[in-house]
Amino acid sequence: MIILIGGEKGGTGKTTLAVNLAALRALHGRDVLLIDTDIQASASYWAQIRDEAAVTPRVACIQKFGKGLQTEVRDLATRYQDLIIDAGGRDSVELRSALVVAERAFVPIQPSQFDIWTLGRMDDLVKTAQGFNPDLHATVVISRASTHPSVSEVAEARGLLADFAHLRLSPAVIRDRIAYRKAARDGMSVAEQKPTDPKAGEEMQALFREVFDGE
């Protein structure tokens, strides 16, 4: 399966989702490849830390850029059971190319008006990509949401997301928890870090189940 984690807005936790999903998939016994198309290379650094710490299972990671991404991804899909593409937060050649080959795209946004304003453009990109890739399904994931119970930003964001024809909203919500940062520092997923954060683990497992949907 080819999964894309991407979008036009930076700082939404794309790499956090990508590396956690890759690690969880590997823990399920799948041969997974993490493809880092972001020039910041955060996913690559995470994979390097994981290798240096000898964390198992290993998550293979490569960097790919440019117009040849579509061809390379299709070739890599014949060699790995799952590909997870981490695309940077901008409208790029890599993001557009990945949309054309991905089966499922997940677009993390923070529950703010600034992030929601970027979804009109993302909706258009998905529509265009579906002309070449009719099997593409795109889902918005609210990410880095406040952990404070009195903050209603998630509910407000849900109400604003109904207007996009080519984007559906995930029921999973990823909160802004320190556990994600600690796990990333150690080259791990939140499911692997000790002591575990049960809430972070439950959030990521919920997203994992949706992303792979029994696959």
Q: Give the contacts of 167 (CB within 8 A, at least 6 positions apart).
A: 107, 119, 122, 123, 126, 138, 139, 140, 161
Contact 8, 85 (CB under 8 A): no
Domain that residue 141 falls in: 2-212
Q: How confident is the model at residue 214 (pLDDT cuts 50, 70, 90)?
A: low
The tally of domains found in the chain comes to 1
Tell me which of 55-64, 109-118, 149-158 is least confident.
149-158
Q: What is the CATH number of the domain that holds 133?
A: 3.40.50.300
Q: Token digits for 77?
A: 């899909």
pLDDT digit string, tens, across residues 152-194: 777 777 777 778 999 999 999 999 999 999 999 999 999 999 9
pTM of the model: 0.94
